[in-house]
Chain A
Amino acid sequence: MATTTTTAVTTTPTPDGAGTPAIRRRQRLLFLRNAKAMTGLVIIGVFAVLAVIGPWIAPMDPDALSSDVLSPPSAAHWLGTDHLGKDILSQIMVGTRGVMIVGFTAGILATVIGVLVGVTAGYIGGAGDEALSALSNVFLVIPQLPLIIVIAGQLPSAGGLTVAAVIAVTGWAWGARVLRAQTLSLRRRDFVEAARANGERTWRILTAEILPNLTAIIAAGFVGTVTFAVISQITLAFIGVTSVSDWNWGTILFWAQQNQALARGAWWWFAPAGLCIALLGMGLTLVNFGIDEFVNPRLRSTGLHARELRRRGIRPRIGFTPVVHEAEEGRR
């Protein structure tokens, strides 16, 4: 950073020369300067770090029994203990890894399937499109959670990655549908026609011309799938379909429910895990809001606060939606 400023100072024949790359950089960082997206990314980042180092920094072995049975939060057990004296804070820290791995694996798998099906359907058109769209519509209409439960319930042992695969296989359809619609509208744009006229190969048109224009939608679909996968996986663990010995936040809630934590008033048993889920879910949702506002400038202005709008002399009323140029604000 320091070197850039010095070079800028020494070689500033025109202000434009130094300004252009700066603006370009600012625009690239526009997404990150969005407060919602940034908050979301920070939350996800914290959980990602916890997923990596959680099992090492956990104060105790999550399976270690102790004599403090069902004790409320104390100095020794920050989040209390369960009916066998196991430390709940450690369970949450160790469980984070399972949650994040399954969430992101399922997200990646489902996004890959969705991109393959959606972009292919949108690009090839005709009978292939009809068949692929019908396939994704079928998967959209069949209720996912019962399907996941039925599949996972019949598997002899449903470990983390199996669950991720099942979630991905059942959850790709929404992304495929949105991608198909967007590809359909991109297919006839001039730049794609030009590439086709140049004799580019289909593969290259898809990867170099179409996919870059779908980045935001793919990202939004990915984030949405991760949210869904996290919640599904925790739900499956909670109802005891998947292995109850692998720690994740749902397993904690499963044991809490099995041992009537609610009736016993042991709020520390189920509240922290739930809050972690809510926090992670909210982080993911915020990132998606950020992507939405990044893509659709109309929504960007509605995200501003009332005071902010007044300060900038904007009165949102019918007839127009103020399109706010965020980089402008940053320069002020």
Chain B
Amino acid sequence: MRFVVRRGIFYLITAWAAVTINFVLPRLMPGDPVAALLAKSQGQIDSSAEDAIRLLFGLDQDASIWQQYVDYWGLLLHGNLGVSFMNFPTPVTEVIAQSLPWTVGLVGIATVISFTLGTLVGMGIGWRRGTWADGLLPATTFFSAVPYFWLGLIAIALFSVTLGWFPASGSYDRSMIPALTPEFAGSVIRYGTLPAFTIVLSSVSGWILGMRNMMVTVSSEDYVTVAQAKGLPERSVVVGYAARNAILPQMSSFTLALGFIVGGTLIMEMVFSYQGIGFLLYQAVGNHDYPLMQGCFLVITLAVLVANMAADVIYAVLDPRTRQEG
């Protein structure tokens, strides 16, 4: 229980830090791009939306910084992130809500596949050291040393432009109307395969390496030797004794890797023009849509925090020591 409370407090602090970074950033920046944009769109933005943007970006010089901070929190707690310049006059929250499910789906599925595959392969390589399987390591290292987006470009060049197996961009067939039909689902899967494949390819090596190194360490532990000496079948030694313990650090590194994976996925969406939150961020940067940019950052960070909490709970379930500690 103490573990959960401690982590809970930590996530609250992190969420507060993310919001505060978001508050402070535009106030630290030299120049006033937002003011310029507001002046340009004079008369198009209605007064209440303009007030929100002024507040979000600290253009209200009359109020003290503390007052601004309080008002800022007030806006956030009402779910008001301002109005998107790009998709004027849609509120930022609405724009983000449309794209968030796409990202969550893509990242979720790709990450689960990558984690499972990497852990299994790492288990195999770590157990059978000194065989041909060791040759897999340099190959996967190559894929992780390459930036995500370049791998995406190559995948597009190979599989969509040359071979024509998968579409190069988008997230579903634009001629279809989004609905819960098998055709539409098929189209989503067809469009999502290539991005997901690239994410898996570039993130799997981290899991392989981590698991392999843990297997190397764990397989020289006494309890593994004992299990082997008892004459247990190799399969149960590997799965029940070695891998079971080696997987725990994998779980804890999962929480740390998540931010990194999310960053990579955002880039992947930009390359594939996949209509998730990364693509949205990309468009926001390109169009100087500052409220949308900030909103994206905030939502991404909060989503990562939620995923981290989930991973923590799973970890506590898997490892009894964390539960007993308090």
Query: Closest Cβ of chain B: how far from A293's Cβ, in Å?
Result: 11
Structural contact, B25 and A151, CB atoms closer than 8 A: yes
Q: Interface digits, B251-291 against A, CB 8 Å rule (1 contact, 0 not)?
A: 00001101110111011001100000000011011100010
Chain A residue at minimum C-beta to C-beta distance from B17 = A138
**Assembled-state Cα–Cα distance A234/B260 (Å):** 16
Chain B CB within 8 A of A306 CB:
yes
Q: Which of B121-153 contact A (CB under 8 A)?
A: 127, 129-132, 134, 141-142, 144-150, 153
Chain A residue at minimum C-beta to C-beta distance from B9 = A134
Summarize B's interface: helix, strand, loop or mixed: helix
Chain A residue at minimum C-beta to C-beta distance from B209 = A289
Chain B CB within 8 A of A145 CB:
yes
Chain A CB within 8 A of B194 CB:
no
Structural contact, A240 and B285, CB atoms closer than 8 A: yes
Structural contact, B130 and A306, CB atoms closer than 8 A: yes
- Picked from B10, B131, B157, B266, the residue with its CB within 8 Å of the CB of A267 is B157
> Assuming A239-B270, A241-B285, A278-B142, is B263 touching A298 (CB within 8 A)?
no
Residues in B neighbouring A155, C-beta threshold 8 A: 29-30
> Assuming A239-B285, A278-B142, is B30 touching A156 (CB within 8 A)?
yes
Structural contact, A154 and B146, CB atoms closer than 8 A: no
Chain A CB within 8 A of B26 CB:
yes
Q: Which of A272-324 contact B (CB under 8 A)?
A: 273-274, 277-278, 281-282, 284-285, 298-299, 302, 304-306, 309-310, 314-316, 318-321
Chain B CB within 8 A of A270 CB:
yes
Among A147, A153, A253, A318, the one with the most B-chain Cβ atoms within 10 Å of its Cβ is A318
Structural contact, B293 and A299, CB atoms closer than 8 A: no
B interface residues, tally (CB under 8 Å): 72
> Assuming A150-B297, A240-B286, is B150 touching A253 (CB within 8 A)?
yes
Structural contact, B267 and A285, CB atoms closer than 8 A: no
A interface residues, tally (CB under 8 Å): 58
Chain A CB within 8 A of B224 CB:
yes
Among A138, A149, A238, A306, the one with the most B-chain Cβ atoms within 10 Å of its Cβ is A149
Please choose the segment from A48-56, A57-65, A115-123, A257-265 that sits at the chain B interface, where 4 or more of its residues have CB less than 8 A away.
Answer: A257-265
Structural contact, B18 and A142, CB atoms closer than 8 A: yes
- Picked from A147, A281, A282, A302, the residue with its CB within 8 Å of the CB of B129 is A302
Q: Which of B24-69 contact A (CB under 8 A)?
A: 25-26, 29-31, 33
The 5 A-B pairs at the shortest CB distance, nearest first, are namely: A145-B263, A281-B145, A143-B259, A274-B150, A319-B225
29 contacts between A and B (CB under 8 A): A140-B256, A141-B256, A141-B305, A143-B262, A144-B263, A145-B260, A146-B263, A150-B294, A154-B25, A155-B30, A174-B256, A227-B145, A234-B147, A235-B267, A262-B168, A274-B146, A274-B153, A277-B145, A277-B147, A278-B146, A302-B129, A306-B132, A316-B130, A318-B220, A318-B224, A318-B242, A319-B219, A319-B224, A319-B228
